[in-house]
Structure 1
């Protein structure tokens, strides 16, 4: 199968997502507040970032040197791979909605900013961690788009580490927002919306 259209599509998905993500990270960092990774744990932070690096290397490896990543190819039909392209592009819109709603509260660790506010609008109305849900959908889309199981395994490793980190993140939010966050937890699911709420 000709990989060129899928490689071009992957570039589009990456560019759309990176533009949204980098813009919002820069906006959140404008006040210049130093965010420590101490509460996350330096070892855990290192492992998470190394897993993310493996994911990036495998994704860019597929993009730049596709022949070298043929060993991890999955026999997926072109129609399914194009669904991955469409959902990947739609994920950039979901990422925009999520990060726009989060605003200057965005960090890359469990620590909340000194001026943080509790966000319960936008996608946060339904789930407490829509950024992770969006990341999971994006990684699944890229796995299908590239038809590469190594990218899929790398994605699962990153997502598993984020899921492991989430209870600590929520504990920090409880410490910061108290009963307000506990009430929010009752009405929203962590990653999946609560039915009937």
Structure 2
């Protein structure tokens, strides 16, 4: 399992590097190297933590983003996510790496790095509270899927998506791309759509979820939404 983790991290690192540096037209883009290094180190840290504390969840999270048991609408959604993610990275490579349309102060780059760290650290709290936090929308009957309502789930219904918000903001800040940052509201709207669709399915198919959703009012951010 750890070998699979290392292989996937290496492949993702190479894939994102190819997109960023290919779009930038140069390897001399310091911010992109920092982004990739932080992503790799934090991803390895979280993956090894999961391998020790919840290997079953790590196995789930290493599966493809499109799976047979997955809801049909989520299969389509995740396919679009892949396309959008690629386009987003290419846009930021063109912006900050090749044409230098954006100019961003260094302290914002540092804030972006902090946002990425906050995301991964928060994800650990999510994984500790919910052993069923798979990357796709499905009911994991074979694993005895139950509602999670402790830890961050006591405050918001989708703490994983909430954890993604500082990552989505932090990535273009670290890379120094205002155009990338301008896309963030659309990305947030996308995960908001997925959260609503996911809740409908869980309320219908997962025992106790409707009562949980009635008890915990907010999806992403307390007192906001």
TM-score, normalised to structure 1, is 0.75
Distance 2:164 2:209 in 1: 23
Distance 1:43 1:145 in 2: 30
- What number of residue pairs does the alignment pair up? 184
Higher RCO structure (Cα 8 Å, ≥6 apart): 1
Q: Secondary structure at the match of 1:141?
A: helix
- Give 1:133-152 correspondences, 5 Å limit: 133-152=162-181
- Give 1:19-168 correspondences, 5 Å limit: 19=44, 26-28=58-60, 35-40=68-73, 42-58=75-91, 61=93, 67-68=97-98, 70-71=100-101, 73=102, 75-103=103-131, 105-114=132-141, 115-168=144-197
- Answer whether contact 1:13 1:92 (CA < 8 A) is retained: no
- Give 1:7-26 correspondences, 5 Å limit: 7-19=32-44, 26=58
- Answer whether contact 2:118 2:163 (CA < 8 A) is retained: no
- Which whole-Å deviations, capped at 9, do the CAs of 1:1-29 have from their partners, x for residues lacking one? x962x334312331144336656563326
- Answer whether contact 1:40 1:110 (CA < 8 A) is retained: no
- Answer whether contact 1:55 1:155 (CA < 8 A) is retained: no
Q: Report the RMSD for the aligned CA atoms in angstroms.
A: 3.1
Once the two structures are TM-superposed, the CA of residue 155 in structure 1 deviates from its matched residue by 3.9
Q: Secondary structure at the match of 1:137?
A: helix
TM-score, normalised to structure 2, is 0.67
Distance 1:30 1:44 in 2: 18
Once the two structures are TM-superposed, the CA of residue 93 in structure 1 deviates from its matched residue by 0.9
